[in-house]
């Protein structure tokens, strides 16, 4: 399967780079791995934005009606258009630093591993995967676990109680 995706990482909160020095490269690798695992070739542009709680709270309020920060939000964009000369915009994944760091600490995970998990999680949402029902959640979690294992990261659901921080966030 060929992968022709352009993955941009926008650092909107510079404190990310102190918390996870390799955050930009880690996000690119995580998103590329999720795109490759999707099951069908994916081409287009994906943006991962490393933001803060204030931005995620605002986006969560505007787009989901929940006035609180969350760890990750995914925004799938338009389907490919009729003009093949125009790039396909897959979507955006936006991640909140303070929430991710707190969750990582509370769950006994490294911030880098938790960030990687949430990039994979958000990218899969952009691609149409979801976890609304039990069966969908099981499929998405299995796919996330497989992608993360390929990146050398342990199953994030194994040691985390039901209601994991990633589930239900995006």
Find the domain containing 15 and state its range.
4-150
Q: How confident is the model at residue 44 (pLDDT cuts 50, 70, 90)?
A: confident
Burial 26-44 (b: 16+ CB within 10 A, else e): bbbbbbbbbbbbbeeebeb
Report pLDDT digits (tens) over 89-108.
899 999 999 999 999 999 99
Q: Which of 3-12, 19-28, 62-71, 137-146 has the lowest mean pLDDT?
A: 3-12
- In the chain, how many domains are there? 1
Contacts (Cβ under 8 Å, ≥6 apart) of 21 = none
In angstroms, how far is CA 74 from the centroid of its own chain?
7
Q: How confident is the model at residue 9 (pLDDT cuts 50, 70, 90)?
A: very high
Residue 112 predicted with pLDDT over 70? yes
Q: For residue 145, what pLDDT is reported?
A: 96
Residue 104 lies in a domain: yes
Residue 84 predicted with pLDDT over 70? no
With 0.75 as the threshold, say if the pTM is over it.
yes
**Token pair belonging to 11:** 């650092």
Strand partners, 50: 11, 95
| Spatial separation of the C-alpha atoms in residues 163 and 113, rounded to whole Å | 18
CATH of the domain at 33: 3.40.390.30
Q: How confident is the model at residue 168 (pLDDT cuts 50, 70, 90)?
A: very low
Residue 156 lies in a domain: no
In angstroms, how far is CA 64 from the centroid of its own chain?
17
| Spatial separation of the C-alpha atoms in residues 148 and 113, rounded to whole Å | 9
Closest CA to 39 of 147, 152, 118, 131: 147
Q: How confident is the model at residue 1 (pLDDT cuts 50, 70, 90)?
A: very low
State residue 51 phi and psi, 5-degree precision: -120, -165
Residue 160 predicted with pLDDT over 60? no
């Amino acid at each position: 399967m060929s992968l022709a995706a352009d993955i941009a990482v926008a650092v909107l909160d510079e404190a990310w780079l102190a918390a996870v020095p390799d955050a930009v490269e880690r996000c690119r690798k995580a998103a590329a791995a999720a795109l490759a695992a999707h099951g069908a070739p994916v081409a287009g542009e994906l943006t991962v934005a490393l933001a803060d709680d204030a931005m995620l709270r605002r986006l969560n309020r505007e787009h989901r009606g929940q006035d609180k920060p969350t760890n990750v939000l995914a925004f799938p964009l338009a389907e490919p258009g009729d003009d093949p000369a125009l790039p396909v915009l897959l979507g955006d994944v936006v991640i909140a630093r303070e929430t991710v760091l707190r969750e990582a600490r509370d769950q006994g995970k490294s911030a880098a591993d938790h960030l990687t998990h949430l990039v994979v999680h958000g990218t899969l949402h952009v691609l149409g995967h979801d976890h609304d029902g039990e069966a969908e959640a099981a499929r998405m979690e299995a796919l996330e676990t497989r992608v993360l294992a390929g990146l050398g990261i342990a199953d994030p659901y194994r040691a985390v109680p039901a209601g994991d921080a990633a589930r239900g966030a995006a």
